[in-house]
A and B are shown apart, each in its own frame.
Chain A
Amino acid sequence: MDHKSHTKYLIIGGSHAGLTALDEIRVYDHEGAVTLVTKEYPPYSPTVLPYIISGKINDRSIFLRDDQYFLEKKVTLVKNRSVVAVDTKATEITLDDGQKIQYEKLLIASGAEPTLPPIPGLSPSSAFTLRTLADVQRILQEVSRVQSALVLGAGLIGMHIAECLAQKGIKVEVAEMLPQILPGYFDRECSELIRREFASHEINCYTNNSATKVETSNGKVVMNLQKGQRLEGGILIATTGIRACFDFLVNSEIRTDRGILVDDTMRTSVENVWAAGDVAQAKDFFSDKKILSATLPDAVVQGKIAGKAMVGVESISPYPGSIPVNTFNFFGNRALAIGLANPEEKEGYEIDTMYLPTAKIYQKMVFKDNCLVGGSAINSLLDPGIFLNLIRRKVDMAAVKAEFAGNPVQMSRRLMWKAWRKEEQERKRDDIG
């Protein structure tokens, strides 16, 4: 078919990065044609999926936008289609049905998908992954018939599913290759406290113990571990990581590594093409490296910058760099980890910890050069957004560090007023002065 449509702004991907960019484009350009290509419709966030399994929300009320929204924003929707090629010379993309769309500005926010490590017997037929609504439905179908379950990979999603399943009365066991649960998300102390809570709900976590073999027989899955254990369950859910989705760039000039490489305005190596969200490999806040961050807050920040850059807004605040942020709720407790909660070298860092075992409260602050660089907390009343901004804005704490460590909730609010709230209130003209 030789049908070719033309659009000013083309967005691939309809989750947080793509939708935030769309909103931002429409702040500045009310008329320019916008086309959104999305694999699934209505749009939803992968983050919400475990909550469907736990029953906290039903699968019909998770959608982020409806028809009315796209109508009002004058967006041409290309639903249930994926991209197979991007030709940056001809400035056009090709869809899986052969249709071509020509663009002036392109945003790739195609997200990520689960990966399975090379373990004998581990495959999509022996293990479930969780990234789409279809995955949720498949898991829910199985869950109704099983009494036990195995989870491979003790990351945020893995641990979350473990809790969801346990609360349905299913016996759950978790295996993790690295020495702690939630590796890369939480520091060792925090993760140990979380592990104890899971153990008290009879969820066993085998850490430092990778899977060597997976077998299925008679509706049972058997997983052998390196240290010799043999775990058996009715279902195996693998949450062993994700990879950025950009296969369709294979013949394009856009530079990629583990993700699509972008600069401070989310632009790729090619003019008029941007990338944001889980697919983008962008600046790290703490080093010069470019990293995949794959958190929702980063997708939002990146989508917003990309949207502005696509319209050609001048004086964009450049991307400050990705700061790891995680919230994790478990059995009525809340955990939070932001920034360098667990710096690899101890040199130059000042660490302040507080632990109240009976109240199950834990708090850790990491400072460097009189600035906050990270921290973690369990059941703390800290305002996570203020904490994150104290790090991002490198607020000088030389004079107040001791008081901050002793009273972080109140002091971070005070610093917020001093460092940005007052000024922004004035800029927003709320103030008659």
Chain B
Amino acid sequence: MIPELGHFALALAVAFAFAQGIVPLWGAYRRDARLMNAAPAIAIGQLMALVVSYACLVWSALVDDFSVLNIAENSHSLKPLLYKITGTWGDHEGSTLLWCLILAGCGGAIALFGRKLPGSLRARVIGVLGATACGFELFALTASDPFTRVWPPPLDGRDMNPLLQDPGLAFHPPILYVGYVGFAVPFAFAVAALLEGRVDAAWGRWVRPWALGAWCFLTGGIALGSWWAYYELGWGGYWFWDPVENASLLPWLTGTALLHSAIVVEKREALKTWTVLLAIGTFSLSLSGTFLVRSGILNSVHSFANDPARGVFILVLLGLVIGGSLLLFAFRAPAMTGSGLFAPISREGALVLNNILLCSITAVVLTGTTYPLFADLLLNTKLSVGAPFFNATVFPLAIPVFAAMALGPMLSWKRAALWPAFRRLWWALLVALAAEMFVVLKMHALPAMAFGCAAWIICGALADVVDRARLFRVPLHDSFGRLRGMPRAAFGTTIGHAGLGVTIAGIAGMSLAVQSIVLVKPGETVHLAGYDWTLEGVRDAAGSNYSARVATIDVRRNGKLVTVLEPSLRTFPVQQMTTTEAAIETNGLRDLYAVIGGEREGSAVLRLHDNPLAPWIWFGALIMATGGMISLADRRLRIGAPARRAVPAIAARA
């Protein structure tokens, strides 16, 4: 009964989405206030239908209803409760339904939080979201229905891939999807603006919080996926330039460009074409990523059950959404003329450079990821484009971004001079050079340069705050006053930029990672990175649906016990798979990392790592997302008007 209810709710959602797509857009076209004002209610209706639908899927998983095919294929009665719930989004059908739920959630969010938007814009935004959602929900209903039944129901399910039965991977999809799908809102804003025929400063101000929110989640989702790979896959790697990873990086890059470009639209009414194109492009990249992963075209470890037939459906959907919006762009964009003129050396100029560089990196990653496909189709040659290519091409483009990041916020709008901006950063440069000197003898050239850049970025971000507070130039009391009056967005910028610096420092630090693969008997000690690692023993353990062999490793430094690591090797009988669980101990500055491989004649194969600055990689991402959240909390963004300045003397450099 419940699965049928879920199926019906999904169908109802399609109906709502269809109405949501047509009614508000027609109302806006006809300037019919009643139709336009119906939009929020329809959006909430769609959201509620999908909440019910998804809840039915979760319920079916919780009660082990194996007559539902999706549950039979992906769940098991012995699977832990947490993974029964999170497993609903661990397969193609369930994750598609989650995607639809979040897309409906976007419409609902505009309905609830977008009350201050002008009626026609709000109606159009909700309308575009509805039309997009209708397409995806139709796909879910017809080609990816999670509620199909199987009869007779099997006695027990086929269990879920053990790799997915893990806290990190359990939460990675929803956070990532809020990021991916969240960019549908800026997309809808862009299409709505093109339909209205107007892109102005107000539009820039309204679109930015939504882009920022989606960006925070996308940053978190990507970081979570990377962290999971680090502790689950067992060899300390965290980014492989795998096609699916690249598919998540592409919208992140253009989303970052969008965030920054929208500032210029808001402040200076310039870069309108760029910003609208970025808004359309970011969501288009999310959608294309989804398509490429689920159709089986991409050769990746993240294989969902690949189905070219489904791929065609999604491709047609993409064609309508992306093609339609780009067609609208081509015809309406000429009407968007910017009024803000600016000199090449200015804050706008720096943001244009930012756009150019980020879009170039996006183009390179996109080319690299899809090149093997095109080469096979058009040239009939088989190529691989792997990590060595991306590392060689992306870093040269990224270094100028890092350099400009600290300088950009120091430049004034419209026309700036480089020298005064540098003068405010003199100490940041010193610290960066000192950091570089510190590591250049230990690291290779590229990581050393990255480490220097990281220091430059972090100090540059701090220099911005220091400068605004006129620290050490006015009495300390005044500085605090200025800091208190500073808009939250300024703190958000500093923290966000500093976060990236922390992540880059972590990546540079990992280049110094040392590892040792050894075959040891209990009682033997290995010396690595100044620590003594002693295998105390290997014992049996069991979980609800697996059996494990757990090793106990004492790590000592100068005789004192630092930590006890317990890596394990888990065997899942139903799926006949083994997974490794690395044991990681972090002190914030480095990770001690141990993995157990097989055992032979009483000895165990151990893989031991010392990873300097590894935790900074994900800590930095957390800081970036926090910075974004702080920016979101800025009153100016929420009420759509500049906040009263507490200290009127602060020049409007913001």
On whether the two chains bind one another, the answer is: no
Chain B residues within CB distance 8 Å of chain A:
none
Chain A residues within CB distance 8 Å of chain B:
none
